Structure 1
Amino acid sequence: MHGPSAEPASATPSVTLLTEGTYPHSHGGVSVWCDQLVQGMPDVDFHVIAVTGTGREALAWELPGHVKAVDTFPLWGPPPAGRAPRGPRLRRFLATYEQFLLSLLDPAREALFAPAFYRLADHAADGTLFAALRGEAAARLLARLWNRPHLATAAARPTLHDALAATDLLEHALRPLAAPAPAEGITHAVSGGLATLPGLIAHHRHGTPFLLTEHGIYLRERYLSFRAEPYRWPVKAVMLGLFRLLAEEGYRNAALVTPGNRYNRRWEEHGGTPPERIRTVYNGVDPAAFPPAGPEPDRPTLSWAGRVDPIKGLETLIRAFALVQKEIPDARLRLFGGTPRGGEGYRTACEGLAAELGVADAVTFEGRVDDIRDAYAAGNIVMLSSISEGFPFTLIEAMSCGRATVSTDVGGVREAVGDSGLVVPPRDPEAMAKAALRLLREPELRAKMGESARLRVIEQFTLRQTIDGFRDIYHDLSGLRRPVPVDVIADRPAPVMALAAGGAG
């Protein structure tokens, strides 16, 4: 951990939850998990720092009284207030920014990341960072740097237009640095990535214990999502470099990392987390809140629940269903869940695929359902087709409801299912269809797996176990505040390797 306690542990520690695109402004698995955590600890004061999209998102959850405040920091809203630095202050910024960019672009200079990152946070605190990143000098600095012959990006001949795009993305991505760095209690990031920024700064400046929980692996999901982004490779290299080094910084500085499954643990160890600072805590559900679903539908039905998003692999599910319907013409597929802002094109593409395969009449997008248990009861089998997951709530909820499942082998899915469901490779419609057909044709096996699934949840994945696990962790970490070395908070001289505005590179 971080050495001896500098102050006694509080009987009721305060916790700052750090979120990105989830609680309390949207629904979904991570948001459900946050709500369960908060509702399960009424004796703990919570504060939420939420990284959002535009800043116009309404609260999606009713917050209990012990959530004392919610501060939002939108990535794509109006730019943060501040004035661009000039003269010596601009030169100091460019010196820091040069080191930061080199750490992202040059594997031999990655050690520059942490000191440059924390100095950029100082610029955010004094109100100069974001205006500086929107200035011409920042883009021209990147345009010179990534064309240096020894860097891999030079081979792609990145343009000034590319530099403007990358600089704009960085300016937006770093906006959470404007959040206040909590000096008291514990910070708890419920994902990797941009949500961790306030926690890392609080740890750096004040020694505030930083806890990191990853449901999915943020870095892996960025690798997957950037494949479809329209930017040229040098722009992607900058952003993926940021996400990779930020992940390593989070793993290195967390007092504890709490993966939800062994799959995540392997990623976290590979990313540099010392094994003794990793503690697996599984997601859980209340079996009483998810009782057996009751009679199956008369018509053979596959059901699915989640948000309509490319990472959920719905195109694989629709292709698999088309194969199922060839064997069982009366079968249908019901998809429950909302379409997030920006996901309308993906839903349209999925609807088009269903039409192209001739199954549009049997595939229905039901939208958000008031009671998620209705989604599980709607199917003879509950499907999960994701290409990336952590330890999915929809799966263990469906298991608690006694439904047989067919799931893709991603994240902690195999840990959750055990032998109580069928697991198939991701992006494999034929294997998924074969598994679904087997269960549809064998009602006794389907019933046996459903009963086994509910028993597995009761024995291993209850909400009470999850809440108790994190309550213990909060109390363990509440006494871990470390003294902050004087040189951390002292004003540091700027390095002399700056490329001054307009200077040669």
Structure 2
Amino acid sequence: MRIGLVTEGGYPYVSGDAGPWCERLVRGLEQHQFDLYALSRSRRQEDGGWVPLPPQVGRVRTAPLWTAEDDGVVHGRRARRRFAECYGELAAVVCTADRDDPRGPGHPAGLADPSGLADLRDLGDSGAHDDRAGGTDDQADRFASALYGLAELARDEGGLAGALRSESAVRALERACRAPGAPSAAREARVPDLLAVAAHLERALRPLSLDWYEDDGLGAADLCHTAGGGTAALPGLLARHFCGVPLLVTEYGVHLRAHYLATGAETTAPAVRSLLAAFHRALAAEVYRRAAVVTHGNAHARRWQERCGADRARLRTVHPGMDAAPFAEAGESPEAADPATLVWVGRIEPAKDLVSLLHAFAEVRGQEPGARLRIFGTAAGPDAAAYLGHCRALAAQLFPDEADGPHTVGDNPVSFEELGGPEAPTLADAYASGAVVVLSSVVEGLPVSLVEAMFCGRATVSTDVGAVVEVIGGTGLVVPPRNPRALADACVALLRDPERRARLGAAARARALELFTVEQNIAAFHGIYLEIVSHCPVRRVLLDGSGEPLPFATPAEAHVPGHWTAPAAPARTPGPAVAAPARTAVPARAPEATR
């Protein structure tokens, strides 16, 4: 099978998002051929180069999202008219989307609650989401018509780089914002706001101008797999639109939620925030509507996808695969840990709420004077460094050096350490240094540190955020966030009960090995690939070296539309029996794994 894998800011670049997951997927499915289509985010990322690629990667095509050089395309009058019509329709949909949202204009979900849970509690599992997030069917059709109209214009006349940055694009946005019925947030947009929105749309729509959608590109793939939503999914949408290639979308971090968190009220003008939220909601709804299958890593992400218009029947849960081998030694010898030590591992930032953890540990020390807390992490960026400094000062204030007790002067019970030091040269060593691993976050997606601790066979105490409960599944203790007293009580309970710690740690390791390994992730995607291809006919004709068609070059399809059994015949008055024509089942064979 030939897979077109589309990434944004990740694989095959050395630095970026989702790189390790994509690399493990490609290397694990060596029976398939992968063509990589990578969108880069910065010059620095491109200069960093690629990771070594396995032989099953056929080719790599890249395009930058961080710059849009003038392509020299000059559109004629007819092309300019087509652009004005399509872009004007897109702008009109964006400006009216908030008006159709029952929560009111300019209400981006998740801004009030960064975890996104508050916005979803009223939704529950009812599935009533289509009209709330993606707008009405008419709005969705108008957005799709405008989007694909722009793509067809780019294909027929050349790139849209100049047109998307032109004055006509800004004027189209202005007309849509001033049109009767536009929401108040759009009507209040000033010229700087319109310029900011136009610049954002130009960047988001850059994939429309790529030459990836021909028979020598994504059109030759049996399946397009996009590692992300939003802009990363646009090439997949266009491959489906132009060539009929089925689309698989994987979101381990929901694109729309990430956009809401990135455009906070304190950094973005209300009009800009409202218009961009409407655009990304409409784009997410179109991606979910056209994808054959949409995968997520946990129920927290699934609720967001359903809220944005995804059909529940096409959603699949595929937990992120992690390599358990580095943690095997720690997991097989949990008794080697210091029974009085708590461990925290992660990226140091305010969302991790180390302040609550330190206050909780102060209460732990009051009940268990010999307890210690080891914090392993790094602070990337000036804000994180300032937060780390604040946490160090708080620890010094809460735990002044004491000559009495189990610790000597200068031996603070809280230590801030970096991985790679003599006492913790590896990540597994950090987890193995304590008996209980603590997570104190107020915002979390899928808690990777918890999965790693589970691989190490450690009992855990966590706050109830994101996908924490789904990950641990009853193999650890869960407390409310921002509640130091509850966090302290749970830690003391495990520190005082070694048998319970051992029991929970063993159960956690067994659960992690069952659900979160690379092997289960690869097996799940292999099955999804076969499922999608078996339901999507191959429409192209394959030719041999001389240009002649190759008979039987593509496998028979396993899916036949319609019902396999005829409906029951209505009751008849007594009379001669007449046999109803039977529906014949056409034998089908499974798609070939390789080609």
- Bin of the TM-score, shorter chain as denominator length: 0.7 to 0.9
Aligned pair 1:372/2:427, yes or no?
A: yes
Match of 2:21 in 1: 33
Contact 1:97 1:120 in 2 (8 A): yes
Specify the SS of the correspondent of 2:144.
helix
**Segment of structure 1 superposing worse, 318-327 or 45-54:** 318-327
Specify the SS of the correspondent of 1:23.
coil
CA distance 1:191–1:395, shift in 2 (3 Å)? farther
- Among 223, 227, 231, the alignment partner of 2:260 is 223
Match of 2:205 in 1: 174
CA distance 1:50–1:384, shift in 2 (3 Å)? farther
Contact 1:214 1:259 in 2 (8 A): yes
Contact 1:354 1:363 in 2 (8 A): no
Match of 2:315 in 1: 278
Structure 1 unmatched runs, 5+: 1-12, 486-505
**Partners of 1:141 and 1:402 in 2: how far apart?**
59
Specify the SS of the correspondent of 2:178.
coil
Contact 2:185 2:270 in 1 (8 A): no
Q: What's the offset of the Cα at 1:132?
A: 1.3
Contact 1:147 1:154 in 2 (8 A): no
Specify the SS of the correspondent of 2:460.
strand
Q: What's the offset of the Cα at 1:455?
A: 1.6
Contact 1:192 1:212 in 2 (8 A): yes
Q: What's the offset of the Cα at 1:467?
A: 1.5
Match of 2:470 in 1: 415
CA distance 1:309–1:91, shift in 2 (3 Å)? farther
Structure with greater contact order relative to length (CA < 8 Å, sep ≥ 6)? 1
Taking the TM superposition and a 5 Å limit, the aligned residue runs for 1:16-415 are 16-25=4-13, 30-57=18-45, 58-59=48-49, 61-79=51-69, 81-83=71-73, 85-107=75-97, 109-125=139-155, 126-148=157-179, 150-154=181-185, 157-179=188-210, 180-181=212-213, 182-183=218-219, 184-227=221-264, 230-293=267-330, 294=333, 295-297=336-338, 300-305=341-346, 307=347, 313-314=351-352, 316-325=353-362, 327-328=364-365, 331-336=372-377, 339=380, 344-355=381-392, 357-359=394-396, 362=414, 364=416, 366=418, 371-386=426-441, 389-415=444-470
Which structure would you say has the larger Rg?
2
Specify the SS of the correspondent of 1:120.
helix
TM-score by length of 1: 0.81
**Partners of 1:423 and 1:246 in 2: how far apart?**
36
Deviations 1:28-69 (A, max 9, x none): 883332222122112222222233321431246432222233
Deviations 1:459-503 (A, max 9, x none): 444432222221122122234445889xxxxxxxxxxxxxxxxxx
**Segment of structure 1 superposing worse, 161-170 or 263-272:** 263-272
CA distance 1:38–1:484, shift in 2 (3 Å)? closer
**Partners of 2:429 and 2:77 in 1: how far apart?**
63
Deviations 1:51-97 (A, max 9, x none): 33214312464322222333333322353634353533223212111
The residue type equivalent to 1:137 in the other structure is: S
Report how many aligned residue pairs link the two structures: 465
Q: What's the offset of the Cα at 1:434?
A: 4.5
Q: What's the offset of the Cα at 1:20?
A: 2.5
Aligned Cα RMSD in Å? 3.2
Contact 2:253 2:445 in 1 (8 A): yes
Match of 1:7 in 2: none
Contact 1:38 1:46 in 2 (8 A): yes
TM-score by length of 2: 0.70
Structure 2 unmatched runs, 5+: 101-138, 398-411, 541-595
Specify the SS of the correspondent of 2:524.
helix
Deviations 1:149-169 (A, max 9, x none): 522244762110111111111
The residue type equivalent to 1:121 in the other structure is: A
Contact 1:147 1:153 in 2 (8 A): no
**Partners of 2:240 and 2:11 in 1: how far apart?**
22
CA distance 1:418–1:479, shift in 2 (3 Å)? closer
Contact 1:124 1:130 in 2 (8 A): no
The residue type equivalent to 1:212 in the other structure is: V
Specify the SS of the correspondent of 2:317.
coil
Match of 2:109 in 1: none
Contact 1:177 1:197 in 2 (8 A): yes
Contact 1:399 1:454 in 2 (8 A): yes
Deviations 1:428-479 (A, max 9, x none): 5554455445434544433322111012223444432222221122122234
Deviations 1:177-201 (A, max 9, x none): 3441311221112222221111111
The residue type equivalent to 1:366 in the other structure is: E
The residue type equivalent to 2:387 in the other structure is: C
**Segment of structure 1 superposing worse, 400-409 or 81-90:** 81-90
Match of 1:474 in 2: 529
**Partners of 1:431 and 1:70 in 2: how far apart?**
51
**Segment of structure 1 superposing worse, 42-51 or 381-390:** 381-390
Q: What's the offset of the Cα at 1:209?
A: 1.0
The residue type equivalent to 2:376 in the other structure is: L
The residue type equivalent to 1:105 in the other structure is: C
Identity level (%): 38
Deviations 1:407-440 (A, max 9, x none): 3434433122011112234555554455445434
